[in-house]
Structure 1
Amino acid sequence: MTTLANRPNTALIVIDLQNGVVAGAYRRQEVLRAVNVLVERARRANLPLVWVRHCDEELVAGSDAWQIVDELSPAPGEAIIEKSYRDAFESTDLEQVLSTLGVGKLIVTGAQTDMCIRSTLHGALARGYDATLVGDAHTTVDSTPWGAPPPQSVIAHTNFYWSNQRAPGRVGGVVGSNEVDFALNAGS
């Protein structure tokens, strides 16, 4: 349903699954396994994959904390977007990469749920993309000492409110990793 003309393709977006981001993340191993399965399925379906990597004072480019986790590995030719804001579209070439790939629909995975995942989902919808969150393939850390709900509640709430997200001509939504249908990629 995207509002972007001539953009029939779907891309799998993997956000900030970096050593320093998910070291203490809730259900880390389960989420990484789910993302790994999605990555392999997307590759078999020739679906574009876009990796997003955050860089700031705590995630210094080139450092171990900045590296994508060992459990996942971008393949040659897959785009890696370097960002310094929570919204992966902000001050990056993500829009240009997606346009070149003819992408108007995003399947979103990664970390952190309450920061970069939510910001990128909203950024995508505001820019005309359909944006589907994979409900069991995103995670966050425990921020309860700063007043946030526990991680499982942050994830459940995000899945709840994104499941009915809509805007004129575009939709959000949530699916389980086993429900993602890469065969629906119109550009395949």
Structure 2
Amino acid sequence: MATLRDGNKSVLLVVDVQVGVMSGAWDASRIIKNIARTVERARLQEIPVIWVQHADADLLYDSPEWQWVPELVALKNELLIHKHFNSSFEQTALDEELARLGVTHIVLAGASSNWCIRATAYGALERGYDLTLVKDAHATKSIDLDHGTKLEASSIISELNIAMTWLSYPGRVNGIATAEEIDFSVPGGVRK
């Protein structure tokens, strides 16, 4: 059973916007601009920004591919979480840091939509956080399946956006918003 969070304090979580992850991602330059815009808006509203950076056998720590894309630069006072699994919560200090900050609402952007963004979104909801996925600020690559079918990146992104509007967890609010319309003060991301 999830621990529901009292209050209304938001954070922006930027996940895996690294050179190797974004290389070949669908519409990467537009997505990166939207992530940068979301970071800018969070900073202007004094919303904490937490950066999550992945490393594994395919994305080696401190390699050129592991680095953040040059368009995104974390400030010295912004928290950095290193991870080795899809979910930003698994075997990291993220949950403890969010508790320390009193966070109740996670605004999520980054890559890859079908792996780390999906796993982190579900992980947040399962831990009792409200969640807003920035629907035009997450990316992935198309996937060629063994039997000749191709899952297009744009469809993967759209499917996750739809899922985040239809999911229902007791006592939590989730939704989607664009980088331009995101309201960090509203669980679900858009003032109604």
**1:149 and 1:47, CA in 2 relative to 1: closer, same or farther beyond 3 A?**
same
Deviation at 1:97, TM superposition (A): 1.0
Equivalence for 1:119: 119
Alpha-carbon separation, structure 2, partners of 1:80 and 1:48:
11
CA distance in 2: counterparts of 1:12 and 1:183, whole angstroms: 11
The aligned residue for residue 4 of structure 2 is 3
Deviations 1:13-62 (A, max 9, x none): 10100011011100100000001011111111110101110010121111
CA distance in 2, matches of 1:14, 1:144: 27
- The SS at the match of 1:73 is coil
Which 4+ stretches in 1 moved above 3 angstroms? 145-148, 182-185
> What value does the CA root-mean-square deviation take over the aligned residues?
1.5
2:164 paired residue number? 162
Return 5+ residue gaps in structure 2 as ranges: 188-192
Query: Conserved in 2, the CA contact under 8 Å of 1:9 and 1:104?
Result: yes
Q: Give TM-score, length-normalised by structure 1.
A: 0.92
**SS, match of residue 14 in structure 1:** strand
Q: Which residue of 2 aligns with 1:151?
A: 153
- Pairing 1:51–2:51 present: yes
- 1:138 aligns to what? 138
Per-residue Cα deviation, 1:56-114 (whole angstroms, up to 9, x for no partner): 01211111111111010100110111000001000000011111111110010000000
TM-score, length-normalised on structure 2?
0.91
The aligned counterpart of 1:38 is: 38
Shift of 1:182: 3.2
| CA distance, structure 2, for counterparts of residue 113 and residue 183 of structure 1 | 24
Kindly indicate whether the alpha-carbon contact (under 8 Å) linking 1:17 and 1:69 is maintained by their aligned counterparts in 2.
Answer: yes
**Residue 133 of structure 2 aligns to a residue in which SS?**
strand
Identity within the alignment, %: 37
Secondary structure of the structure 2 residue equivalent to 1:21: helix
Which residue of structure 2 lines up, in the alignment, with residue 82 of structure 1?
82
Q: Which residue of 1 aligns with 2:128?
A: 128
* Correspondence for 1:178: 180
Shift of 1:183: 5.2
CA deviation after TM superposition for structure 1 residue 128, in Å: 0.3
Structure with more contact order per residue of length (Cα contacts < 8 Å, sep ≥ 6): 1
Q: Distance in 1 between matches of 2:185 and 2:90?
A: 30
For 2:178, the aligned partner's letter is G
Q: Which runs of 5+ in 1 are unaligned?
A: none
| Distance (Å, rounded) in 1 between the aligned partners of 2:75 and 2:186 | 22
Question: What is the DSSP-based 3-state SS (H/G/I as helix, E as strand, rest coil) of the residue aligned with 2:75?
Answer: coil
